[in-house]
Structure 1
Amino acid sequence: MFSDFADKNSDKGESILDKIEKDALMGELTDIDNKLSVLQGKLTNNDMKQYELITGVVDYQKNHIDNSLFTLDKVLQLTKSADDDVYTLLAYLFKGLGYLSQNHIDRAQYYFQMISDALKESTDIQNANELEVLFVCKTLANSYNSMKLYKKAYQFSRCGLNYAQEKHISYFLDELNYGAALAVKGKDDKSEEYEDYLNLAYYLAKANHNEELLTVINH
């Protein structure tokens, strides 16, 4: 059975599941449960990994961490933990975030490292869209900064910025620049770089009306 719920290459452009996934990643959860329930019973086996991923992300966003971790394990069963599958990487990411929120730093690092290893060769993941790649980069940068692993934070900020430049896209540029700024903050030889990243983050956040980031920068 052909499904256009998750066909990224369909003529309709972004699929229904892609749109819901984007909302989930952005933390825009209004009506998301209803949108998901409408799809139940209409999805192919191939759609299920994306559907379960979204469910796991939504649970994480709602702070239902144990439910999220359980669902993300289902995603990994469906992807067979293939590291060239974006849903594997997103499952690792949100498992890491879940463990980080529970202060299980070692476990979080383990899952973040799995993503790092997978992306070492290339950020071109066959079934990933650009938003997903940049979301992974900026989230890892933020997470590594929060763990005071600044070298890794800088690496993923730059990875995201380079990818965005290469693909001519602007998702999360404010946050990626802020991540880079935080990663080099306080380093004597990087003071100019810090100012550049911070200023860029500020102006981009202003342009994007990213009030949350502006509050952090102005704090």
Structure 2
Amino acid sequence: MIKHIFFDLDHTIWDFDRNAEETLKELYQLYELEKLGLHSCKDFIDTYTTNNHQLWTEYHVGRITKEQLRSERFHKTFRQLGIKPDKIPMQFEEDYVRISPTKTNLFLGSERVLGYLYEKYTLHIISNGFKETTLTKMDVSGLNPYFRNVIISEDVGVNKPHKAIFEYALNKAEAEKHESIMIGDSLEADIRGAQDFGMKAIYFNPLKKEKPGDVEWQINDLEELLLHF
């Protein structure tokens, strides 16, 4: 019955953490952060990753704005690691946002799976990512040919898990709920958002976290989709 498959982008197809790590290693050297007192690049990346995930969770549900997320994630990280506010590099966020979307690391099997699904289903993206970076990621990673529509929350005016973004996506795709399915890594934004809307969902869980009871279907590897579609 499935005709339309809606994918999340970050952390589902585009390997956000791996691309962020590459970017932060470059910026660690460029800004000579060791001279500021940050003697461990790994600690810097780990602290940033924790803060960024937390802030994105708050952004998904509308507790903070795009501007607050961007202004806070590195400032919070630098402060936690003991850097005084007047020593925090002012252009760090801008350089990160410029470089990170140009990275092209995808989750293992992404292109094989998308190539297979593209022949049988109509594929779409629903992303809470920021518009300019999302479009860059899609372009430089060669993902555009697989997807008919790229729905970005900034264009719609609401984020996943709000029902309105799923309604917008189905209307744009000319799809019905019963013939559509959402695949993503965020329990709150992707899975519960879709399920509350009345749409099937597959939880992409590469870290093999414990599956909550309200999640009916999960995969740990994108290539598992080849067994089901």
Q: Could you state the TM-score of these two structures normalised by the residue count of structure 1?
A: 0.30
Larger Rg: 2
